[in-house]
């Protein structure tokens, strides 16, 4: 199996301890990517340390370069006067610097890396990978399926909602909140 944390050797790969060295949970609101790749409209950064949220989420908004298809109404409503990505990218990279970046899956990280080509995370953790290892045999591992397992049955909208959902999932996976309920 591939390691859960990549590629910082000084961090433990023990899943229960490593995420709380210094991590930032990242949520994205993106366009549907039709035509072309998904474009970032919002990036939320939620800091977790020993396992507590240590500040309100940082939310970076920008106007997507392409069509806005796939963005929720709440996201679109505040993008009209948002700056372009080029004006936001440096602040996003600065907010993520030096921390373990937590996303739900590799696809979310790939979007972020495509938008920040000169940035590399200190380490990466994906809650989907961790869920597949710690809770084998579930019917699904996307955010919605895992929200059902955790009892909420919903996925929060927007980048801040995604970051909050992923943070709750990470806390459940690492034993800091209730884990999955029996599936009957």
Domains plus CATH for the chain? Answer: 18-173 (3.30.420.10)
pLDDT digits (tens, 9 = 90+) for 118-166: 999 989 999 999 999 888 888 899 999 998 888 877 788 889 999 999 9
Spatial distance between the Cα atoms of 79 and 82, rounded to a whole number of angstroms = 5
Spatial distance between the Cα atoms of 182 and 177, rounded to a whole number of angstroms = 15
pLDDT digits (tens, 9 = 90+) for 95-106: 999 999 999 999
Strand partners of residue 8: none
For tokens 């610097």, name the residue.
Answer: 97
* Tokens linked to 12: 């433990």
Longest dimension (CA), the chain: 50
Strand partners of residue 27: 44
Write the CB contacts of 61 (distance below 8 Å, at least 6 apart in sequence): 41, 42, 78, 79, 82, 88
The helix-helix angle for 127-134 and 158-173 (nearest 10°) equals: 30
Q: Indicate the pTM of the whole model.
A: 0.83
Report pLDDT for 20.
57
Considering the chain, what is the average pLDDT of its residues? Answer: 81
Spatial distance between the Cα atoms of 8 and 122, rounded to a whole number of angstroms = 7
């Amino acid at each position: 199996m591939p390691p859960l944390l990549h590629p910082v050797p000084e961090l433990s790969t023990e899943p229960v301890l490593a995420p709380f060295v210094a991590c930032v949970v990242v949520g994205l609101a993106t366009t549907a990517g039709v035509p072309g790749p998904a474009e970032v409209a919002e990036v939320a950064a939620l800091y977790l340390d020993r396992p507590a949220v240590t500040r309100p989420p940082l939310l970076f908004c920008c106007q997507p370069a392409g069509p806005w298809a796939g963005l929720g109404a709440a996201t679109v409503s505040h993008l009209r006067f948002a700056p372009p990505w080029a004006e936001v990218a440096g602040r996003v990279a600065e907010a993520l610097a030096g921390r373990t970046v937590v996303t739900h899956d590799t696809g979310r990280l790939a979007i972020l890396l495509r938008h920040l080509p000169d940035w590399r995370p200190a380490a990466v953790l994906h809650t989907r990978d961790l869920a597949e290892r710690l809770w084998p045999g579930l019917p699904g591992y996307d955010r919605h399926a895992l929200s059902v397992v955790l009892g909420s049955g919903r996925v929060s909208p927007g980048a801040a909602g995604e970051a909050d959902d992923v943070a709750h999932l990470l806390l459940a996976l690492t034993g800091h909140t209730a884990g999955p309920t029996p599936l009957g």
